């Protein structure tokens, strides 16, 4: 009896799990980028984030997991273009550079 079908099913299951976690991270990054742009009152461009890197890192609990980097573009006045970056470890935001929230000034 060949174990090839079993190995193939395991490989497919691992591939689907990795794809699913990558999609979940991209959706989380998209939400965080959109919310940051809204809070800073800037225009979020291209309506998406772009994955720029992935690596294995230890989380707070000591377990190895994926750390994924993303970039997004935003504009302050519609004629400029800036790059925002964020890093997720699991679903947790560990690094962010981009538009800062607008705060009302006290008079």
Scanning the chain, the segments in alpha helix (DSSP H) are 4-40
Report how far residue 105's alpha carbon sits from residue 57's, in angstroms, rounded to the nearest whole number.
Answer: 40
pLDDT tens profile 10-43: 999 999 999 999 999 999 999 999 999 999 999 9
Q: Categorize the per-residue pLDDT at 4 as very low, low, confident or very high, splitting at 50, 70 and 90.
A: confident
- Report, in this order, helix, strand and coil percent for the chain, each rounded to 5: 35, 40, 25
């Amino acid at each position: 009896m060949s174990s090839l079908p079993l190995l193939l099913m395991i490989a497919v299951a691992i591939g689907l799990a990795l794809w699913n976690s990558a999609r979940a991270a991209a959706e989380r990054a998209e939400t965080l980028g959109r919310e940051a742009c809204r809070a800073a009152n800037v225009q979020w461009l291209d309506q998406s984030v772009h994955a720029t890197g992935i690596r294995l890192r230890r989380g707070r609990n000591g377990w190895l997991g994926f750390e994924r980097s993303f970039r997004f573009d935003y504009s302050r006045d519609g004629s400029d273009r800036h790059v925002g970056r964020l890093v997720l470890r699991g679903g947790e935001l560990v690094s962010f550079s981009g538009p800062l929230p607008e705060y009302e000034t006290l008079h």
